[in-house]
Structure 1
Amino acid sequence: MALKIYIGNKVYSSWSLRGWLAVRQSGLPFEEEVVPLYDAAWEKRRMAPEFAASNGKVPVLWDGGNPVWESLAIIDHLADKVGRDRYWPADEAARALARSMASEMHAGYVALRSQHGMNLRPVYPPEPLTPEVAADVARITSLWDQAKRRFGQGGDYLFGRFGAVDIMFAPVITRFRTYSIPLPALAADYCAAMWAHPFMVEWGEGAAREDWVIPMFERATD
């Protein structure tokens, strides 16, 4: 039975982007269903059986009758099906760093995520960052630099080939563009490579076809 993933609006849903990229990376056939978030029917819709396991959150991947939610769980589930080398570096030292970075991304950078929500439509002019956001950006770009210099020389991505860590950081890359956050040269080059990846292009094209606007995720402009 083919996989099916329920995702939120492609313009706004950072967690959905990760889950969708993970399924796309698997190479397995899948069906996707976009569920509009925070509209008038959302509270009722999120109580439907397909969201029961995740407590009303997206993304949710259904593999036959088995639900899987949370980005890292989806990656691990798919890696079990198609082989971990599709997601994680083969080298043990590289894999240890990659897993640590993915886990830190999953749980960290609260200031960046809360103050600069994902929104693929606008590109805002640069504004001064709060100290907390600046610290998150510095930490992220420092980790990128470490991974790229130690293990990423063989390709455009953090560990050479596109994989789980790139998937986990994909929404951050969108935030850096949306809010015109200045980056060191290596980080800027990596972001450009990510934007050019066919899966990111495909997601962006889907987002461009959406017409939903969620006011809480929009920033007032003069």
Structure 2
Amino acid sequence: MASTLTLVIGNKNYSSWSLRPWLLLRHFDVPFDEVRLPLDTPAFRDDVFRYSPSGRVPVLHDGDLVVWDSLAICDYVNERFLDGRGWPADRRQRARARSAAAEMHSGFAALRAQLPMNCRRRPDAYKWNAEAQADIDRVQALWRELRRDGGRGGEFLCGAFGIVDAMFAPVAVRFRGYGVPMAPESQAYADALLALPSMREWDAAAQAESERLEKYDALR
């Protein structure tokens, strides 16, 4: 079946927002075409407004419909292609998962700023401050609470992989790359995310990219 979808993304190495809907689509085998616009380049500035009214990525095109926010894209994919499987079936678990996804979408500014996603990065002497550590602690508390309330049926936050896991997938990459100490249950969850075939596919492509952004690669 020919795809009606085109997902426009940034670099796989750096674009945490792009990873989220890409991972959801690939995990659930929803066909889509991919357009990659390398971040912070003249080509990005020249081309992005052809695809995105906000001038940012990711953005999803489904025919003449344009959806330009990562969480909105995930919700649209869930309604259009997944018959609701992107969120837990239980109403209470679904409310918690949506709250956690929304918190990830809008919060954790220190974590984002001080531990930017870089799939190629591996731990070194770099350290973050107390504000970023508070974000790290909150993320792990969220993971623990969701696993306790709904995750006993599988490896992911609410059992089976869903939108809330896609929202936290870049955090697993960050924790790996900066050597963030994790509680055993958090480590097990991060490992499960990183072991997903779709996540391994993204990571392999990220490793192969040639672009380098010094503002991320120079953090030491």
TM-score (norm 2): 0.94
Aligned counterparts, 1:8-27, within 5 A: 8-27=10-29
Partner of 1:5: 7
Aligned counterparts, 1:70-219, within 5 A: 70-125=69-124, 127-219=126-218
Alignment size in residue pairs: 218
Partner of 1:38: 40
Cα 1:92/1:108, change in 2 over 3 Å: same
1:84 Cα deviation after fit: 4.7
Does the CA-based 8 Å contact 1:126-1:181 persist in structure 2?
A: no
Partner of 2:51: 50
Deviations 1:27-72 (A, max 9, x none): 321111111111233322223x212x2x210011100111111111
Does the CA-based 8 Å contact 1:8-1:35 persist in structure 2?
A: yes
CA distance, structure 1, for counterparts of residue 203 and residue 16 of structure 2: 12
CA distance, structure 1, for counterparts of residue 63 and residue 102 of structure 2: 27
Cα 1:36/1:88, change in 2 over 3 Å: same
Code of the aligned partner of 2:114: Q
Q: Match of 1:32, SS?
A: strand
* Superposition CA RMSD, Å: 1.4
Q: Match of 2:6, SS?
A: strand
TM-score (norm 1): 0.93
Does the CA-based 8 Å contact 1:68-1:74 persist in structure 2?
A: yes
Runs of 5+ consecutive residues of structure 1 not aligned to the other structure: none
CA distance, structure 2, for counterparts of residue 81 and residue 32 of structure 1: 18
CA distance, structure 2, for counterparts of residue 141 and residue 126 of structure 1: 22
CA distance, structure 2, for counterparts of residue 41 and residue 160 of structure 1: 41
Code of the aligned partner of 2:14: Y
Code of the aligned partner of 1:45: D
Q: Match of 1:146, SS?
A: helix
Q: Which moved more, 1:3-12 or 1:126-135?
A: 126-135
1:127 Cα deviation after fit: 4.3
Q: Which moved more, 1:211-220 or 1:92-101?
A: 211-220
CA distance, structure 1, for counterparts of residue 207 and residue 16 of structure 2: 15
1:22 Cα deviation after fit: 2.5
CA distance, structure 2, for counterparts of residue 116 and residue 97 of structure 1: 26
